[in-house]
Structure 1
Amino acid sequence: MNIGYVIKVLRKQRKMTQEQIALEAEIATSNVSRIEKGLRQPSQKVLLKIAKALDTTPSTLYAACEQPIASIPSFLEDQTAMLCHESMNHVHLSFDANDLLTLFHELSPRNKALLLEQLKTLHRWQMSTDFGAESHPENHHCKINIR
């Protein structure tokens, strides 16, 4: 199976455009299009960038290529679910935290980075104001170290 088809399927599952992938991978949109159409094979470097933009690994993309064409979408969904499950193993979160993680996971890598920067800024501001954890002793157990 063509790796471009796998990239296209995963991109659509992630609800991303070719432009978003190109931006995240720092390649031309036309390259993404040609790769998805099977007109061009990505170099290892480009494949790594595309995989990162899709929040996966090149090995997952290659493994999907080995699947029957009809099974590729479900294989990729299973791989994503397995990765999420492994990363969340032994972690008990509130419903709000689970909702937050679900929404965060659906963001593009670029939007994830932007959101994290905004959260860090908000946290620094909160810690520096009268509303921060320093002025509320009951919140000391909630302090987190964000770098």
Structure 2
Amino acid sequence: MNIGHVIKTLRIQRKMTQEQIALEADMATSNVSRIEKGQRQPSQKVLQKLAKALNTKPSTLYAASEQPLEDIADFLRQEENTEKNVGTDSLTFTQDTKILITLFNELTPNNKSLLLEQLKILHKWQTKIGQ
């Protein structure tokens, strides 16, 4: 099991730096580097933070780490496509909604949280004005 290789592969797929991951996970960049190099195994708590920073689930990281090294990148891409499509097959979206979902999925986890808070405030404001 090489969880560090999985984290590095997913980070590169997401076009993120170690610094960005460390910032999102609230940890030192050197720790991310050591984990990626296999010099340190992440605790469950650290793994959860890293998964959140990478916009995935810890179970996906574990499952990918069980794959042969040469298959990890493809496995992660397949999992990402599966996660994006879960629950949306039976829904019909307008073009605006599709664009919104695409843009939202490209945000970092921290920016997703910020956007959701802003949307809640905007919705609350609109409800008050509409009454």
| Fold shared, TM-score > 0.5 on shorter chain | yes
Q: Distance in 2 between matches of 1:35 and 1:21?
A: 12
Q: Name the residue aligned to 2:60.
A: 60
Match runs of 1:59-138 below 5 Å: 59-129=59-129, 132=130, 134=131
Q: 1:8 touches 1:36 (CA, 8 Å); kept in 2?
A: yes
Q: Secondary structure of 2:86's match?
A: helix
What is the CA-CA distance between 1:46 and the residue it aligns to? 0.8
Q: Distance in 2 between matches of 1:105 and 1:62?
A: 22
RMSD: 1.6
Q: Secondary structure of 1:88's match?
A: coil
Q: Name the residue aligned to 2:4.
A: 4
The structure having more radius of gyration, on CA atoms, is 1
TM norm structure 2: 0.89
What is the CA-CA distance between 1:121 and the residue it aligns to? 2.3
Q: Distance in 2 between matches of 1:74 and 1:127?
A: 45
Q: Distance in 2 between matches of 1:115 and 1:103?
A: 11
Q: Distance in 2 between matches of 1:26 and 1:91?
A: 36
Count of aligned pairs: 131
What is the CA-CA distance between 1:79 and the residue it aligns to? 0.4
Q: Which has the higher contact order (CA 8 A, sep 6+)?
A: 2
What is the CA-CA distance between 1:83 and the residue it aligns to? 1.3
What is the CA-CA distance between 1:33 and the residue it aligns to? 1.1
1:89-111 deviation digits (Å, cap 9, x = unpaired): 32221111011101101110001
What letter corresponds to residue 113 of structure 1 in structure 2?
S
What is the CA-CA distance between 1:23 and the residue it aligns to? 2.2
TM norm structure 1: 0.80
Q: Secondary structure of 1:87's match?
A: coil
Q: Distance in 2 between matches of 1:30 and 1:48?
A: 18
Matched, 1:42 2:42: yes
**Identity %, equivalent residues:** 63
**4+ residue segments displaced more than 6 Å:** none
